[in-house]
Structure 1
Amino acid sequence: MGVLMNLALVAVLVATLYGPVSRELTVLGVWRKSDAMGVKHSFQEIPDTMQCEDLHYHKVSGQIFTACEDSVQPRFSWYPGLANLQGPATSTGSIHVINPKTMKSTRLAFENFSGPFVTQGIDIVDDPERSDALYIFAVNHLSNPEYFDAATPSTDIPKARSQIELFHHVLGSPSVRHVRSIFHPLIVTPNDLYAESPTSVYVTNDHFYREGLKRAFEDLVPAARWSNIIHLQLDGDRVHATTALTGLHNNNGLGHGQSPDEILICSAVGGTMYRARRVQDSDALEVVDEFRYDSTIDNPSFYADPYATEGDDASGYVQAGLRRAIDISHTHADPQGRDGAMVWYTRRGRSGEWETKLLVEDDGTMIRSASSAVLVPGESKGNAWLIVSGFVSESAIAMEVDLY
């Protein structure tokens, strides 16, 4: 009887764990061969777009805004987003504008800003006082002088002291003006941003632990829901911060959805995009529903179909992620590493149900890693330009895709 009971318990345990474990292995790409060729396209590289983590299409100007590194090598020693913490940080990235018609990138000159700028997530928001200008929020992963300047640094002192930079840009001008730096103790492991206004922004802390085995455990165990989203309210020189959302696994990229109040949140390692909204009369966020994908996903975007009709609307969500995220544990600090990419597109089909299509699957031949992708309308319905970039890619790439 005891043996039968034990076998029954094992059977229940296996049945309970099989689904979540199988799902996690799929998302991490364990079943995918590293050298297999997937959904390929002819493509072109966009010059001077190194390691642009996050892309944002600005509909009014028709331009894509991003933050990139100015050289490839530094990220493999200092980049807190991958737990590369061999500092101090010395590299200076830059803000770029990509013209999707010419596929050329313009590096904007800094005004009133110098020093290290280690880029990751950004967001843009229109200037409410000027129709021809916008604000740019950008993560900056600085090193912590309390650690690196100490003769014998304590292991209790964080190596990174990340903050947010706020810039102002007049459309068509060759520069960005630095408005201020934003630091608060609740900004711990910032990944991405969602700007509501020039004075209100949400920030994801993608990990509770910054490095080591505990961080790896946090990545791999879905129950480790320790990341959070904080809200920052700027009031003159002061910064008011509150915790807006907890309980998600590895919340990562943020994006603007199909309506002004829809906030997209991605669980990177969980392969899940959540649609959320602000709680009424509060800075807190609440999750409305979710979409699951068969790879990691990073920074989400929404494509608004300009050719949409009542019965035919190609508007949808675009997700970029890693083809075999399981490999990142040994490629994250390797300049010669190879990380494949996957890009997904989710829209409502003619039946009204949500349908997901794999737009791109690459083994690292076209691009090393994918962390952001945006669709730009083509010249005819059902056709669009897809621009993809990655946190360790040497350049962003562009290709024409069929949305049907």
Structure 2
Amino acid sequence: MKIVVLGGGESGFGAAYLAKKKGMEVFLSDKGLIKEDFKKLLIDADIEFEEGQHSEERILAADWIIKSPGIPKKADIIFKINQKGIRLSSEIEFASQFTDAKIIAITGSNGKTTTTSLIYHILKNDDLKVGLGGNIGKSFAKQVADEDFDYYVLEVSSFQLDDIQNFRPYISLLLNLSQDHLDQYNYNYEEYALAKFRITENQENDNFFIYNKDDVMSQNLLEKLEIKAKMIPFSTKEKLKEGGYLNDNKMVVKLADEFSMKIEELSLVGNHNIANSLAASIAGKILQINNESIRNSLMTFQAVEHRLEQVAEIDGVKFINDSKATNVNATYYALESMKQPAVWIVGGVDKGNDYTEIEELVKKKVKAIVCLGLDNQKIIDFFQDKTELIYSTSSMEEAVKVSKSLAEKGNTVLLSPCCASFDLFNNYEDRGNQFKNEVLK
């Protein structure tokens, strides 16, 4: 079988490596330049590759094409592949065909990385043989090739779900839905939401689907869709007969038996993290992990880097790195958790953002806005009459200096950009690391 892999990053290399190991004929093509460390891995694995171009004739002669999630579905080469009717899959689809391990897959607009890491921590803490992959950790395909895990916990994006055919998790979780990546979904919120729901489309009645009963869009779509998996809800607003909910500052999970824990014992703070902890606990109970082990995991879990990460306190000013907040809803959670007046660093590549969702929170919590991006005009126009102080900057060094000059003792400087990072940075990690470096300088 002729396999072509598009994209030479973590997921692309992993897919090519697995295909090679399975005895397939493999060719990897990247329109950009491949990083030196991945190039070396490709050479060591004797995988043929090209960079800086797509050799169309060769690509379109493939039996199966594996696409990295970063390649836009509107790209010219993707159009041609679809025209020819060649099977086009994501790495998660491809790798899942070669493992019998139970897959726990997590999607949603916000909280994916935290909840995926938390479920992985719960399983690892219970001494299960488990791998972490998808949008986080090491390549899922590479682990399928080299490891012998019984479980995989995968963070899954809508882009990866766009390119599945048979992907069937044992447990799927849809944490929440908010308007994100609309530029890739014809600026249609329902189209984006339905892409997320694909996580459950191949599940059968011996599988589980964990969903958020408080999420309006999820509830609307559940009325139209036929879900075969056993559905288990969680809610922070109402008591449930089955699932996870809040009751008198306690989180409760009711399945075959009951698990409960005081909110103050959780290592994660904020309302959104109570929802994430409920979802993760339900997954733990489905996998028959005992209550004591789940409780211990929820108490010992360390928050994810670049997600409400406390960097330092300098002269009474807290500096918080929330660079992973690349949409308005993620920033909503960050602002909601602020206990002190905030100097808010915001901006980057706008993905069709509607800032009305956070307008009232900004009026209540933010004393100054520092825009960070090549084009800050949309943010300035929207917020100029909502706060007295608004500044435009075009480098992290400048943004941190301006923020420090504005912040007084008892304030918080919050980097929570609402936007993608690609105008000034390689990715959100690069943006978060630069913020931390400038703060510590």
TM-score w.r.t. length of structure 2: 0.23
Quick check: which has more Rg, 1 or 2? Answer: 2
Q: Which has the higher helix share?
A: 2
Using CA pairs below 8 Å that are at least 6 residues apart, which structure has the higher relative contact order?
A: 1
Query: Which structure shows the bigger proportion of residues in strand conformation?
Result: 1
